């Protein structure tokens, strides 16, 4: 089957972002190993530029725009991490960026997006369509739309996380039994699962969703792009995309073994654990993979696994709520 992205696209993306994206460390913690009864390697994308993996895809997309496209600027919608990724990449490349953000985005994500130099257009998550606003803006100004996950360059860029993971695990002399990745629209999951399993077909790959946002799990079962119930809420604001992408879904169906779900309480516990034991700041959605491992969704005893901590942009109020859980 032909996908929108190939393994070569991911290695090409890695060359484009080299020296600009952080090669995030693969960390290990004795207490976590003991708790899991195995060996857990943490790919800390929280330490990526903008505090989340999103810079990888955004820079890969924006750097490949033509000079004319660059002049006309870019527009994107995002609750926060993609917003910051696009804003930071645009800033580095001298491109004007407008970001369409829900009014209830975490303040830290809004502030940072502004700080990277982007213009923000707020919308009401329940009464307005971010897509309509974005398409209209693009028609009016000629700005290029930068999707948050359903785009070949975005997927390839996020996939570089998986390339680094495999190389870093090899450098440690480790064979990974499994990888756990937080899953929203599937940009990180599709790119990273392709990067890992093309090289390591025997490594199990698990995507992790919030329990009321199990659109990917249900899409795996039905084969269609299943949508979430728009009235549902979760503290995992970075994983609330309405359905898996047209491009990401087929890739995930090939390379992902199983889609797991976690509750908000399990996300809170993982954020607290990361703070207390790992000394890392992780946002609820970014901790979904860790939450699944800590909650024992898959038995990892005696296994060597990797967990991607995908982002760390969280408001103080939510962080304190997690510490008190």
State the binding string over 119-158 for its own copies (x if CB under 8 A, else -). ----------------------------------------
**Which tokens belong to 3?**
């996908």
CB 15, CB 201: distance < 8 Å = no
Examine residue 312 and tell whether it contacts its own copies (CB under 8 A): yes
Q: How far is the CB of 85 from its own copies (least distance, A)?
A: 13
Examine residue 51 and tell whether it contacts its own copies (CB under 8 A): yes
Examine residue 320 and tell whether it contacts its own copies (CB under 8 A): yes
Examine residue 221 and tell whether it contacts its own copies (CB under 8 A): no
Of the residues 43, 54, 200, 272, only one is catalytic, namely 54
Of the residues 63, 105, 238, 310, only one is catalytic, namely 310
Determine which residue in the list 12, 22, 133, 295 makes contact with its own copies, applying CB under 8 A: 22
Q: Which is nearer to its own copies, 221 or 316 (CB)?
A: 316
Q: Which residues of 159-177 are buried (b: 16+ CB within 10 A; e: fewer)?
A: bbbbbbbbebbeeeebebb
What is the DSSP track for 72-135? Answer: H-EEEE-SSHHHHHHHHHHHHHT--EEEEEETTS-HHHHHHHHHTT-EEEEE-TTTS-HHHHHH
Q: Which is nearer to its own copies, 91 or 242 (CB)?
A: 91
- From the list 139, 16, 126, 4, the residue with the least C-alpha distance to 75 is 139
CB 279, CB 28: distance < 8 Å = no
310 is annotated as an active-site residue: yes
What count of other Cβ atoms lies within 10 Å of the Cβ of residue 190? Answer: 36
- Which residues inside 242-281 make contact with its own copies, applying CB under 8 A? 275-281
Q: Which is nearer to its own copies, 91 or 250 (CB)?
A: 91
Give the β-pairing of 144-145 and 119-123. Answer: unpaired
Query: Who's near 81: CB < 8 A, 6+ residues apart?
Result: 50, 51, 52, 53, 54, 109, 238, 311, 313
Does residue 251 sit in helix, strand or coil? Answer: helix
Determine which residue in the list 126, 170, 232, 323 makes contact with its own copies, applying CB under 8 A: 323
Q: Which is nearer to its own copies, 89 or 163 (CB)?
A: 89
Q: Nearest 5 degrees, angle CA 136-CA 188-CA 227?
A: 60
Q: What residues pair up with 39 in beta bridges, in sequence order?
A: 304
Examine residue 59 and tell whether it contacts its own copies (CB under 8 A): no
Determine which residue in the list 27, 93, 145, 174 makes contact with its own copies, applying CB under 8 A: 27
Q: How far is the CB of 171 from its own copies (least distance, A)?
A: 12
Q: Which is nearer to its own copies, 27 or 93 (CB)?
A: 27
Q: How far is the CB of 84 from its own copies (least distance, A)?
A: 11
CB 105, CB 80: distance < 8 Å = yes
- The stretch near its own copies (CB under 8 A) out of 46-54, 176-184, 207-215, 222-230 is 46-54
54 is annotated as an active-site residue: yes
Examine residue 106 and tell whether it contacts its own copies (CB under 8 A): no
- Which residues inside 77-96 make contact with its own copies, applying CB under 8 A? 88
Catalytic positions, written as ranges = 54, 310
Which residues of the chain form contacts with its own copies (CB under 8 A)?
A: 22, 25, 27-30, 46-47, 49, 51, 88, 108, 275-282, 312, 316, 319-320, 323-324
């Amino acid at each position: 089957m032909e996908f929108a992205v190939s393994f070569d696209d991911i290695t090409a993306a890695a060359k484009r972002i080299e020296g600009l994206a952080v090669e995030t460390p693969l960390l290990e913690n004795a207490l976590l190993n003991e708790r899991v009864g195995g060996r857990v390697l943490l790919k800390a994308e929280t330490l990526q530029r903008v505090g989340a993996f999103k810079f990888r895809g955004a820079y890969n997309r924006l750097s490949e725009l033509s000079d004319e496209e660059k002049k006309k600027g870019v527009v994107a919608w995002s609750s926060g991490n993609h917003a910051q990724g696009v804003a930071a990449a645009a800033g580095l490349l001298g491109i004007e960026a407008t970001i369409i953000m829900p009014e209830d985005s975490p303040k830290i994500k809004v502030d940072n997006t502004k700080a990277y130099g982007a213009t923000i257009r707020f919308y009401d998550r329940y009464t307005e369509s971010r897509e309509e606003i974005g398409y209209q803006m693009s028609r009016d100004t000629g700005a290029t739309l930068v999707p948050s996950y359903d785009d070949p360059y975005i997927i390839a860029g996020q996939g570089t996380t998986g390339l680094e993971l495999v190389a870093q695990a090899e450098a440690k002399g480790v064979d990974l039994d499994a990888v756990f990745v937080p899953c929203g629209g599937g940009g990180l999951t599709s790119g990273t699962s392709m990067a890992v399993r093309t090289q390591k077909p025997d490594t199990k790959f698990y995507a992790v969703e919030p329990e009321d946002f199990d659109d990917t799990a249900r899409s795996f079962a039905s084969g269609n792009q299943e949508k979430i119930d728009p009235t549902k809420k979760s503290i995992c604001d970075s994983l609330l995309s309405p359905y898996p992408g047209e491009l990401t879904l087929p890739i995930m169906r090939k390379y992902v073994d199983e889609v797991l779900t976690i509750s908000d309480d399990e996300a809170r516990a993982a954020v607290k654990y990361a703070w207390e034991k790992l000394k890392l700041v992780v946002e609820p959605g970014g901790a979904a993979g860790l939450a699944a491992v800590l909650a024992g969704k898959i038995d990892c005893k005696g296994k060597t696994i990797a967990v991607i901590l995908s982002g760390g942009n969280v408001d103080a109020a939510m962080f304190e709520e997690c510490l008190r859980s």
